Amino acid sequence: MKIEISNSAAEFLKRKMLNTGKDYAVRVFIKSKGCCSLDLGIAFDLEKASDNIYNEKGVTFIIDRKMAKYIKGFRVDVVNSLLGGKVIIEDLYKSSC
């Protein structure tokens, strides 16, 4: 599994998880599948026995084993605005349509 995460996204996610007061990880899931790539989503969640666990830059990512066979890699970044930060996640392996 190839995971690319910017330093700013790693710090942003660690800060957000710390503020929850729970031992969350970042769950990566498939929102939808298109002809060229996956539309991925993220949410804070607790680890489950059926999860694959990955660590990158101090952030723990969890992916259900059934979904992990479709997700080959992803990139995580954060975009800052006046209203705060927004995390963006995208599939690294887009095919041509």
Q: What is the pLDDT of residues 43-69, one digit of tens each?
A: 999 999 999 999 999 999 999 999 999
Transcribe the chain into DSSP letters.
-EEEE-HHHHHHHHHHHHHHTS--EEEEEEEEE-SS-EEEEEEEE---TTEEEEEETTEEEEEEHHHHTT--EEEEEEEEETTEEEEEEEES-PPP-
> Residue 11 is encoded by which pair of tokens?
């710090």
Calpha distance 40→90 (Å, rounded): 6
> Which pLDDT value is given to residue 44?
96
Counting as low any pLDDT under 50, the low residues of the chain are none
Taken in order of first residue, the domains within the chain and their CATH numbers are: 2-91 (2.60.300.12)
